[in-house]
Structure formats: structure tokens, C-alpha cells
Amino acid sequence: MTTQPRRRAGIRIVVPIGSRRVMTIVAAIAGLTSVAVAAVGLSLALFTAQAETPAVFGTKALFPGERVTPAFQVGDSSSGAEIDRSSSFAVDGDGLTATTSAWSTAFASDRYLEFDVNTSLASSVAVSAATFDFKFASSGAGQACYYFEVRRISTGAVLGTYGSSGSPVGCVSGTTLTSFSTSIAASVTTTSIADDLRVRVFGKEAGSAAMVIDRATVGGSTAYQSFTLYPVMFRDAADTTLELIPWGLDLP
């Protein structure tokens, strides 16, 4: 290995030529390392700059107690093909209807239908916007009309009357099913009342025919949920002979 002399301030310094090459290589490696570190640092900065998603929590009131209700929309696939076995009164437009016995041509106190709805709500909660939703038609060519009372199941007390024999809630001429929604908010003010609710429908039909019913439900809302209540008991006294027709899934 050869050396090359250097002079500095009158001092002769001898640096091996091989050592200069080593120092040049070391300097080059240090430079590359700095570039790599800078590049890695930039990448890390991009990842760590992501904003954290805040957690959002909500609360609902808890109402202790046991509440039991049957299903009203039911699909039966026991045959291998599903058949709709839902309540005739639960959903409109599903092809499932109930036909009453024959009415007279005039309203009468002993000619009516009754719907006792299920008791699925926590008690003592304020209810708003309660409605009775009824979809029906005549079974013939005549005009069918109705009005109704809202009652308590436990006492039979009448909470409110909607319409009258002289001013029915609704009328339908012919067999076209027609929907009516009537506010019963003045009668159903709490869930305790809604869980003890009976609707008695008085009717008439111009040709003394039957009615076809596609829906009969009670709807409403609380501060915590919207709800729909369905008949667990149907009483048909349109022809003055009372017939009790319970919802099959509500039987013990």
C-alpha cells in the first residue's frame, strides 16, 4: 500500500491511499442511509396523521318485567314450499282476508265486530299518535260503512266513540279494499291502556252482504319506540250471532 504525503502548518502527515477510499465509501453509505431514513420518516408521518373515529354511545330506558306475545306474520315451509300463514288482520295487501257474517242495511247495537289486541308493551309509558287502522270492502256490490268504539278489555268501559250511525268513519262501495286510519290519541294515552284495548266496530251493508277485512291494527309511538298491536281475539256478531275466533298462535 502506497502513501502520499500532506503538509499542514509545517507538519508532514502521511495518509494511506486505501484509507481515503474507505472514508469515501463510508461517507457514501452514510448519505444513502440519511436519504432512506428521511423517506421512511415521511411514510410514517402519513400513517400516524390519520384521525381517530370517535365512539358514540346511546341509552334507552329499561322496563323490567315479562311480556309475552305471539307472532302474527308467519311463513310455513313444512310442505317444502313456503305458505303465508299470517294473521288475516296483520298486513294489508298480502292476499289474506277475513269475511264477516252478513250485516243488515242499518246500524244496530247488537251487530258488531270486536278486536282485542295483544299486550306487548311496558306499562305506564306515555303514548302519542295512536291510530286504529282498518282496511275493508263489501263482499258484494252494495255500500259497506262503519264506525267504532275504543274500550278497555278489563272493564268494558268505553274510552271513546269515533263516528256514528249518522256519520260513519268510512264507507266503501263494492269490493275494492280501502284503507282508513283514525286517530284515537284521545282514548289511548298510555301503554297500560294500549295493553288493555278492545275495538268494537259497528257496520252496515246496503245489500245485507258481508264485509271483507284485510287489516285491523292499532298503531302508536312512545318516546322509545313505534309499535303496532294486532288482534289476538276476533268476535263476529255482524248477524247478531256471536262467534269467537282467536288467533291460533295465542292459544295456550
Q: What is the DSSP string of 102-138?
A: ---SS--TT-EEEEEEP--S-SS-B-EEEEEEEEEEE
The predicted model gives 77-89 an average pLDDT of 91
| pTM of the complete model beyond 0.95 | no
| Length of the chain as a residue count | 252
- Binned at pLDDT 50, 70 and 90, residue 67 comes out as confident
| pLDDT at 42 (0 to 100) | 47
Burial 178-189 (b: 16+ CB within 10 A, else e): eebebebeebbb
More confident residue, 249 or 234: 234
| pLDDT at 68 (0 to 100) | 79
Q: How far from the centroid of its chain's Cα atoms is residue 111's Cα?
A: 35
| First vs last C-alpha separation in the chain | 108
Q: What totals of helices (H) and strands (E) does the chain contain, helices first?
A: 2, 16
- Binned at pLDDT 50, 70 and 90, residue 65 comes out as confident
49 pLDDT above the threshold of 70: no
Q: Please, which residues have CB within 8 angstroms of residue 132's CB and are 6 or more apart in sequence?
A: 148, 150, 162, 181, 182, 184, 199, 216, 217, 218
HEC string for 176-192: CCEEEEEECCCCCCEHH
DSSP state of 222: -
- Binned at pLDDT 50, 70 and 90, residue 23 comes out as low
| pLDDT at 36 (0 to 100) | 46
Q: What is the per-residue pLDDT across 167-213, written as a single tens digit (0 to 9) for each?
A: 999 999 999 999 999 999 999 999 999 999 999 999 999 999 999 99
More confident residue, 240 or 78: 240
